[in-house]
Structure 1
């Protein structure tokens, strides 16, 4: 496209079709947020460490659940509760490892159908769990579903979005994760008691079922269709997403082909497609795990041994693990228990308010990510989290509920403007095009490992250190802010060759 034509081309906009398709794709993120936080509020009544009856005059065995042999609670130790909570991360890791390949092979939409069925199965097992083993099994299975979703959802959004809106629409992934957390806390206001906590588990199955039905209303990823050689289908989907703009749709497909060393009628493209019975499946973000020069798949060994990927790999490792090591899941997983030490009667309500704040700030952050840039927001977010966790610690140690609640709110809010939405967004921006798919899988793996460490380790450390455990997050967040300042380049609007890496 010439410069004159580019100036005459209208700026991309969020059409109704694009907005709806993004919402449906983000339902996987809603499920992720929901299951991540589903044990937070009912954890104490579920594990028999606390008893709350909504109907003091009615014995549990006379309720519908009691009559159908569902136990009132599952007796768990702190260590068992920590594993039941954090095994979700191991399932998530397993799901994220195979999700990219299966989504490449069968398509984003078809794979999402399958993933919803896994989510329904896991939620039903949680609803029916009467033993520790059943609870852990259900958490692992919903973790598999959510691990897959966290890979496929940003992929789906990225491949549907105009490049000018990719940052803003991509941040909707994090917004919807927080909506899922909010929904869990909303249901907990009514159902997090000794009689009705199982209905919170069953609601996860309803979410997956709604997601499955909505998938019938959207099209397959246009870039996945193009990777299968269906250029006409890709252009047709893009026309619908772009409000009928045929020229922009064709240009986007041509741009995608050119960026990977192909042309619409090239023999190289035809040969690359025919080299596999599956027509060269697509990969995360780039939609094709091929080198621009050789069109060969980048192996995991090459990713770890080739010095060209060393800086980006270390950056991805640091950012994706630090998102968790700054401690946010101490609140997402255990916030009700943390607050209940100071405000036992209002802990669930406080966590509901925290979830509302989280959604609002994350949504607001979606409008500034493409304006302020990734690096400044990461530094500001981590620095503010360091200060906030120091005061959270002080509030717990000094038994000061006002300080604890105030700085917990601040802690969650400053996470939502930077460390929440940015890490998964910058993986592909930091990585060379041919490595973006494998980098996405690697970064997601790092994130799940860190999530498990925090989820399993926090309750054990909290028993030993009480409120001082948050000072560990204070030190880590401060160190991460310094690391980003000295080591991480800005990626907003820059090509790979324009990134300024620091030694």
Structure 2
């Protein structure tokens, strides 16, 4: 077993982390990697691609490879990604239930491929705008499919560990963007950063053709033989083991004849779903309102106020910390559970937000960097990876796919609000804006303590919500 497999498998795990299960998880997580890559792909090359690089005493408007954009136009190109993503996430659950997880994921990568090529060859604002809508839509589909698929192929005792790979690969995508930008964020080469998005899409498409469809979805479509084949291949289980697990799934689905009739309106208005719906709303929106994307989107700007020369490398280090700690957190989630990690993560993020505010107001550079690094590290053990993982665990079988779409839409909306609103609040309030994030994080921890059940090693909706 490789080191990465050993890290993912806790010592008391009853299930074997098979090679095929690991490959299927990795292929699904390529969708998350694309999301992370595209959400950060315009940050580093902004000056080069918008003709703002200075050359001697003249700006670089003379270069043919840059696109002369105003700050408002560049902001629109950046923000429209969230609108495209929201649209994709809104319909992803119903599409996944109708056509299957595999086909929708392939469609998402095809859209990302085409849209990345539009971005790569863009000559004006309109083409950039359309390309960003496209990659946003494709990533919106992917960010719903990835956790949904992993939740359905993973055995119960490995579900948390494998589920964290979703957030881990988002962070890898962000880190990959910043890594290639070190060399290519120039007036001559910035387009290659956008072309990498097309390569990632092609690799993901190829990957989906070598893994199996979700056996749980196949069973809902009464494709029993295909479900048997998929489960036995992914888990490498004996015929008797496969038969027993399939039969248990059939018993679970025996009273779900109305599953395909569930609509968005019913999900939003029916009191039957209110407990899980409110929990999902608060967790997915709360992740963003703790202020994480004020660092991910604008970290260079925040740090550069005190350390202008070191800001880019500090931001790069932030991404490395995010990746490493998210990967390590895969063992913590199964050991300590979802709820304790969410609470401790939110509390420390709140405390660090207060210190970030203090360091900005008092101009203490060492405190600023230390606080940001600690903030990112504790985000990565709880508030970062757990929200997308826990959507499916808090939901009943018949609303799981729709709940995944709904929760992701909540996250997209909150991402847009923070991405658009932080620069405005930062200009108005300066360092005091992090006091708001800190207060929310503390309230968020209290909300989780009183309203969110633990889902570790619990197998069904009734067991999870028994005491709530």
TM-score (norm 2): 0.90
Name the count of aligned residue pairs.
455
1:70 is matched with which residue? 65
Are 1:88 and 2:70 counterparts? no
The correspondence for 2:293, drawn from 320, 329, 333, is: 329
2:111 is matched with which residue? 118
CA drift of 1:140 comes to: 1.3
1:406 is matched with which residue? 370
1:388 is matched with which residue? 352
Are 1:460 and 2:424 counterparts? yes
Aligned partners of 1:440, 1:217: CA distance in 2, in Å?
Answer: 25
Larger radius of gyration: 1
Are 1:420 and 2:384 counterparts? yes
- Unmatched runs of 5 consecutive residues or more in structure 2: 1-12
CA drift of 1:193 comes to: 3.0
More divergent stretch after superposition (339-348 vs 352-361): 339-348
The Cα offsets for residues 269-289 of structure 1, whole Å up to 9 and x where unpaired, read as xxxxxxxxxxxxxxxxxxxxx
Aligned partners of 2:434, 2:53: CA distance in 1, in Å?
Answer: 24
CA drift of 1:501 comes to: 7.5
Map residues 157-176 of structure 1 onto 2, 5 A cutoff: 157-176=150-169
Are 1:19 and 2:30 counterparts? no
Aligned partners of 2:214, 2:397: CA distance in 1, in Å?
Answer: 19
CA contact (8 A) 1:30 1:180 kept: yes
Hey, which of these two has a bigger chunk of helix by percent? Answer: 2
Aligned partners of 2:161, 2:355: CA distance in 1, in Å?
Answer: 32
2:5 is matched with which residue? none
2:183 is matched with which residue? 190
- Unmatched runs of 5 consecutive residues or more in structure 1: 1-9, 262-290
Residues 1:260 and 1:419: Cα distance change in structure 2 (over 3 Å): same
TM-score (norm 1): 0.84
Aligned partners of 2:152, 2:380: CA distance in 1, in Å?
Answer: 24
Residues 1:204 and 1:384: Cα distance change in structure 2 (over 3 Å): same
Map residues 156-235 of structure 1 onto 2, 5 A cutoff: 156-235=149-228
CA drift of 1:453 comes to: 0.7
Residues 1:326 and 1:145: Cα distance change in structure 2 (over 3 Å): same
Are 1:497 and 2:462 counterparts? yes
Map residues 3-402 of structure 1 onto 2, 5 A cutoff: 11-51=14-54, 66=63, 69-71=64-66, 73-77=67-71, 79-261=72-254, 292=256, 297-402=261-366
Aligned partners of 1:251, 1:434: CA distance in 2, in Å?
Answer: 21
CA contact (8 A) 2:85 2:137 kept: yes
The Cα offsets for residues 371-429 of structure 1, whole Å up to 9 and x where unpaired, read as 21111111111111111112222222333322222111111111111111111122222
CA contact (8 A) 1:393 1:469 kept: yes
CA contact (8 A) 2:276 2:395 kept: yes
Residues 1:440 and 1:189: Cα distance change in structure 2 (over 3 Å): same
